Every structure is written in C-alpha cells, then in structure tokens.
C-alpha cells in the first residue's frame, strides 16, 4: 500500500533531530503566542516566517504548522484565567472557561481543553491524510475557470464570515486585490503602478503587509491600555487533570467538536474561529441542561476547544491540495510556500511528496507535544504571562522590524511594514478585515492569471465560468456569498424608508 509507505517516509522525515526540534519549538512558541493577547496566530506565523528562510521548506512548514496548532491551545490559557482571549478562536471559551475559573476549576477547564485539542488534532490529521490525496487527485482536472471560481469563493466566504459589516469586509478584500495589481504583470511583463520606483515595480510583498497589519497594528491598538490585564495565582500540574466525571460529561462534546471543526475548517474561508462558535452553539442546543452554559459548563470549553484544533488542521487541506487558503494564517503559510519555491496545489502531492508527508507526520508528533506541553508545562506558561506588557510590546515591535527586514535585506520593506502597521491600526479601530486584505493580496496574482487565461480560452466571454459544471457550482456559491449581504442591505434600506 503506497499510502502506508508514504506515511512511513513522512515519519522518517519528521523524526530527524532537526525537524523534531522544529516541531517542539513550534508548539512552544505557538502556545506562548496564542497566550499573549495582542499577538494572534497570523501575526505569529508572519513574524516567524523569516526565520525559516534559511531552512529546508519541509522544516519550515513543520515549525509553522506546529506553531499554528500551539496557538489554538495557547489562546485558551488566557481565556480561562483572565477572561481575555489570546486569539479569536478562543473567544467563545471565555464564556464557560472563565466561569469555571471563578469557581476554582481553572485546572480542569485547561485540562479538558488540552485533551480535547489532542484528540481533535490527531483525528484531524488522520482525516487530513485521507482526504487530501483524494481532493488533490480530483483537483488535477481543474482548469483556469475552476481555479478562478474556487479563489473567488474563498475570497467571498472569508469576507462574509470575517466581520460584522460585510461592506467593510468587501472593501478590505478589493483593496487587497488592488494592492496585488502593483508590480509586474505576469502575462504581459509590464510594470503597473510603479511610479518609476524600482521597489514599487517589484510589487507589494505580502509579508511586510501581513507583519504590519497583524503584528504592529495589533500592538498599536493595544498601547491605549498601558499595562493590560495580569495573571495572578499559580497552577500546579495535579490541578490540571480533569476528573472522571468531567471526562464523562465532555467526551461526546469533544467528538462533536472534532467532526464539526474539521468539516468547517475544510471549507475555504471558514477557519477555527467560525468552527469554535458553531460548535458552542451546537453543544448548547443538544444539551439537556442548556441553562448551565455560560455558568461554567465543561462542555462549553471542551467542544469549541476541540473544534478549533480540528479546524486548524483541516484548514491545511484546501491550502495544500487546492492552493486556496481558508484563513489569514494559512494565507500567510501559502505565501511562505511560494517563497520557498513550491507551487501549492494538486501537483504538490506528486512533485513534493516528502514535503507533504513530512508535514502530515509531524502533525501527529506536534499533537503529542502539545498534550505534554499543555499539561506538564502549564505552570511555566502561567508564569510567562506575567511578563509586563511594557517589556513585551517593544520586543514584539523589534520582531516585526527584523522580520520585515529579513525578507530581502532592505529597509524599504521595513518602511512598508510601518505604513501597514498604521493602516492595520485604523482597520482594527474602524471594523475592516485585515484577514480579507491579506488573503486577497496573496491570491490576487493567481486569481488574475486564471481569470485572464479563462477569458483567453473562451475568447473573452464570461460564459466559460458557468458552462463548465464544477466552475458553475463554485461561481454560483461565490455569487450567493456576495448577494446575501447586498440583499440584507437593500432590505434594511427599504424598511428604514418606510
């Protein structure tokens, strides 16, 4: 069976000392990043991406993927202990997690989240391993129209699910696409919107933009509250282990969270955050005692925490097989893949099997690491959270500057990072979606190429997107995602007139 042979090869790669070290480092750094309010998974991945430039791509992706898994758990620590989610996928955990902490049950809350994350993450990898090759094989038949339709669907769903105001989401997305137009045109070779500046003609790199929007932008938004919340108290290992009664209550929640999380995560555009909210809602619906939710129900921690880890793993499926990232974090990873000289998409499985299977095997290892780190090292992380913001923040800015500089060793990129830091600050304040912008910037050149190729094939008619069955379905879904908020907007205008 070549499937097992592939997995064996993957473990052979993942278990080399250096890659193992990268997985461990990734999990630890990820947990720390997830735990620190103000730095979420996308900023963490963006800031660490430059560190991987000198490595083999396989080691690089192993570190980043382990980190992504780590952030999902790290965000839980602050949600439970100080009612401040470290990242958006742990927002819903605050509801019951913090209530449990107030009742003196912070330990079991963190423990069940760790166990749920481990189970969901591991099952997620199994599903990733089974689904991806099939999806990749199917996607091999995709031509430019299907690719374009798929990218459009990814962009519109991210926008739709990203924020409160779809209009601002679409503005962010179109702005990202406009930025992607700057620089050399892939088909004609002409430099667009360069204004004679060589750095501009090279185009807008996504990395300084991502570091600026997510890293510096978040830090600037956080400066208003000088100081910030502090973790008090200690937590011992013994206290982290949930009791048998806790386990009995949450095992089905973990199972439901895992399945739901994976299903949501695979969709382009819907990531861990959506998965965690949905699974919380589902748990509340199926519970015989829904009134306990919001008052410290352990199911309310177990389900969303499982769902977000399953979704984080599942988000790799569209990124690896279709080259369409499902979230801001995977968009940045995709950018990393392209920087390492790999071409994401169905061919990745055939051309770079060691990369794909090394990543898959390392995800199993990362999940074990995560379980060990999240139980044994909890006291250490709780202590790390006591580093004052006044020390942490300058260090994060330093990381942003070095990261942006290391891309091409020039100060222009650092300046660009600074500009987008300010843009990110305003976007956050005014309710725009930085995730939609980054995704559009990464997908922009690819989307433009497949759009123009499709139109060349069809001799300039847009009918080609609707006459091919797969592309037609995807296009209809994408257009529906655009139409829903428009219809809502129109209705609210009509009713406000009446």
Partner 1 sequence: MRAADRITAALLFVFAVAFAAGALRYYEYGGSGGPGPAFLPFWLGVAMALLALMMLVKALRNPDPGEAWLPRGEGLRHTLVVLGVTALFIALLKYVGMIIGTALFLAALVRYLGAHRWWVTLAIAVGAAGANWLVFVHWLRLPFPEAGIWIF
* Size of the chain, expressed as the number of residues it contains: 498
Nearer to partner 1 by Cβ, of 35 and 418: the residue is: 418
Separation of alpha carbons 384 and 21, rounded Å: 21
Q: For partner 1, give the closer residue by CB, 73 or 432.
A: 432
Which is nearest to 340 in space by CA: 7, 25, 59?
A: 59
Q: Rounded to whole angstroms, how far apart are CA atoms 87 and 73?
A: 10
- For partner 1, the closer CB: 96 or 205: 205
**Shortest Cβ 411–partner 1 spacing (Å):** 6
Q: How far is the CB of 217 from partner 1 (least distance, A)?
A: 11
Q: Alpha-carbon distance 110 to 381, whole Å?
A: 12
Nearest approach, Cβ of 359 to partner 1 (angstroms)? 22
For residue 388, the minimal CB distance to partner 1 (Å) is 6
Nearer to partner 1, 9 or 181 (CB): 181
* CA–CA distance, 252 with 245 (Å, rounded to integer): 13
Q: Please give the residue ranges that form the binding site for partner 1 (CB under 8 A).
A: 51, 53-54, 167-168, 170-171, 174-175, 177-178, 181, 185, 187-188, 190, 192-193, 216, 219-220, 223-226, 388-391, 393-395, 397-398, 401-402, 405-406, 409, 411, 414-415, 418, 421-422, 425, 429-431, 448, 451-452, 455-456, 459-460, 489, 493, 496
- At 443, list the tokens: 């997908």
How many CB atoms within 10 Å of residue 11?
16
Measured from the CB atom, is 114 or 440 closer to partner 1? 440
Determine which helix (DSSP H) or strand (DSSP E) holds 96, and give its type and residue range.
helix 93-102
The bridge status of strand 183-184 relative to strand 191-192 is antiparallel
State the virtual CA torsion across 438, 444, 447, 449 in degrees, nearest 10: -150
Residue 201 Cβ vs partner 1, minimum distance, rounded to whole Å:
13
Cα–Cα distance for residue pair 15/362, rounded to 1 Å: 8
Least Cβ distance, residue 245 to partner 1 (angstroms): 44
| Shortest Cβ 264–partner 1 spacing (Å) | 27
Are the beta carbons of 328 and 159 closer than 8 angstroms? no
Nearer to partner 1, 171 or 282 (CB): 171
Closer residue to partner 1 in complex, CB, 113/220 = 220
**Hey, what are 366's tokens?**
């990362």
Q: Which residues of 225-264 are buried (b: 16+ CB within 10 A; e: fewer)?
A: eeebeebeeebeeebbbbeeebbebbbebbbbbbbbbbbb
461, two tokens: 């008619």
CB of 495 to partner 1, least distance (A): 12
Contact in structure between 86 and 44 (CB atoms under 8 Å): no
Least Å from the CB of residue 231 to partner 1: 17
d(CA 324, CA 239): 42
Q: Which is nearer to partner 1, 123 or 427 (CB)?
A: 427
Distance of alpha carbon 52 from alpha carbon 336, whole angstroms: 9
Structure tokens at 59: 């080691």
Q: How far is the CB of 261 from partner 1 (least distance, A)?
A: 32
Name the minimum Å distance from CB 428 to partner 1: 10
Select 190 or 350, whichever has its Cβ closest to partner 1: 190
What phi and psi, each to the nearest 5 degrees, are found at residue 163? -145, -170
Output 5 or 486, the one with its CB closest to partner 1: 486
354: its two tokens: 């060691």
**Cα gap 120→225, rounded to integer Å:** 35
**Whole-angstrom Cα distance, residue 81 to residue 460?**
58
User: Cα separation of 496 and 245, whole Å?
Assistant: 52
The distance of closest approach from Cβ of residue 5 to partner 1 in the complex, given in angstroms and rounded to an integer, is: 34
Q: Residue 418 or 481: which CB sits closer to partner 1?
A: 418
Residue number with CB closer to partner 1 (139 or 393): 393
């Amino acid at each position: 069976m070549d499937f097992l042979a592939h997995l064996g090869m993957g473990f052979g790669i993942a278990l080399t000392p250096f890659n193992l070290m990268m997985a461990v480092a990734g999990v630890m750094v990820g947990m720390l990043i997830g735990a620190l309010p103000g730095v979420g998974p996308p900023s963490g991945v963006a800031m660490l991406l430059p560190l991987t430039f000198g490595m083999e791509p396989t080691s690089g992706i192993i570190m980043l993927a382990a980190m992504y898994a780590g952030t999902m758990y790290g965000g839980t620590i602050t949600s439970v202990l100080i009612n401040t989610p470290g990242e958006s996928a742990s927002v819903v955990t605050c509801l019951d997690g913090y209530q449990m902490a107030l009742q003196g049950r912070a330990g079991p809350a963190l423990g069940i989240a760790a166990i749920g994350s481990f189970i969901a993450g591991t099952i997620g990898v199994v599903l990733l391993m089974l689904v991806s090759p099939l999806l990749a094989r199917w996607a091999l038949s995709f031509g430019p129209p299907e690719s374009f339709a798929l990218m459009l669907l990814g962009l519109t769903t991210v926008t739709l699910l990203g924020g409160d105001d779809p209009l601002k989401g679409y503005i962010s997305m179109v702005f990202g696409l406009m930025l992607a137009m700057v620089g050399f045109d892939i088909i004609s070779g002409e430099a667009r919107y360069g204004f004679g500046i060589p750095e501009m003609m090279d185009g807008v790199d996504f990395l300084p933009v991502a570091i600026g929007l997510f890293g510096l932008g978040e830090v600037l938004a956080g400066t208003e509250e000088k100081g910030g919340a502090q973790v008090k108290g200690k937590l011992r290992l013994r206290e982290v282990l949930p009791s048998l009664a806790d386990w009995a209550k949450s095992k089905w929640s973990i199972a439901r969270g895992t399945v739901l999380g994976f299903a949501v995560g695979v969709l382009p555009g819907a990531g861990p955050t959506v998965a965690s909210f949905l699974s919380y809602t589902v748990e509340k619906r199926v519970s015989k005692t829904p009134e306990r939710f919001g008052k410290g129900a352990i199911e309310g921690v177990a389900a969303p925490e499982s769902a977000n880890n399953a979704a984080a793993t599942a988000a790799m499926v569209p990124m690896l097989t279709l080259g369409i990232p499902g979230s801001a974090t995977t968009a940045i990873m995709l950018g990393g893949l392209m920087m390492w000289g790999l071409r994401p998409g169905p061919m990745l499985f055939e051309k770079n099997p060691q990369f794909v299977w090394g990543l898959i095997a390392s995800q199993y290892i990362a999940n074990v690491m995560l379980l060990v780190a999240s139980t044994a090292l909890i006291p250490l992380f709780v202590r790390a959270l006591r580093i004052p913001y006044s020390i942490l923040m300058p260090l994060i800015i330093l990381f942003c500057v070095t990261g942006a500089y290391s891309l091409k060793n020039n100060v222009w990129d650092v300046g660009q990072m600074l500009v987008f830091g300010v843009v990110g600050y305003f976007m956050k304040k005014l309710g725009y979606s930085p995730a939609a912008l980054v995704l559009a910037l990464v997908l922009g050149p690819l989307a433009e190429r497949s759009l123009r190729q499709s139109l060349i094939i069809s001799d300039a008619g847009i009918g080609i997107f609707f006459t091919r069955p797969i592309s037609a379905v995807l296009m209809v879904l994408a257009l529906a995602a655009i139409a829903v908020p428009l219809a809502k907007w129109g209705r609210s205008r009509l009713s406000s007139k009446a």
